[in-house]
Structures are given as structure tokens and as C-alpha cells.
Amino acid sequence: MGDTETYTVTGPDGEEESFELPAGLVDVLSEQGEPSTRVVTDVIVQAMAQQAHVIAHHSEGDVPDDIAEMNETAEELFEERFGQSLQDALGHSH
């Protein structure tokens, strides 16, 4: 196995989870001078917004109101962070 880098996420209740990524991968994804933590958190926000979208729009049956609200909030946070809607980023809308 190659070299790795450790990142840690801290939850709202103070719990922490560390994870390893291949060394240099974050640098490949970053723009020059961009902090590595920004790159990692961008990916986390993007992945969570995409997962919320899948649950809210691609599940069978009706979606509970709380799930729909979480998805809506995730879409708003995505747009605030990246300056474009999640629908534009995904290339489709509902």
C-alpha cells in the first residue's frame, strides 16, 4: 500500500472519525493554493447533497416530509458553497 494522509471529521456532538486517503490525492483535486481541508470538505458536501437527492428523488414511494426538507436544505447549502444549483451540477432536475 502507498503512503496515506489522515483527515478527521468532528460531528456536532464532538465525536470524531479519522480516515485515510492516498497521499497526494487531495492535491490532485485542488486548485493551486487551495487548502486541503477545503477540498475534502467540498467533496463531503457534494457527496451528502447527492445522497440526499437520491433518497428524495430516486426512491420508490412517497418521501417523508423530513427527508424532503433535508434534501431541500442540502441543495441550498450546495448552491451557497459552489455557486450553482445541485440540479445544474448533476445535469438534471425534478
Non-local CB neighbours of 45 within 8 Å, separated by 6+ positions: 77, 78, 81
Q: For CA atoms 55, 85, 13, 27, give the dihedral sign.
A: positive
| Single pTM value for the model | 0.87
Read off the pLDDT of residues 18-70 as tens digits, 9 standing for 90 and up: 999 999 999 999 999 999 999 999 999 999 999 999 999 888 888 899 999 99
- Confidence at residue 55, expressed as pLDDT on a 0 to 100 scale: 94
Q: Structural domain tally of the chain?
A: 1
How many Cβ atoms sit within 10 Å of the Cβ of residue 11? Answer: 8
36: containing domain: 4-90
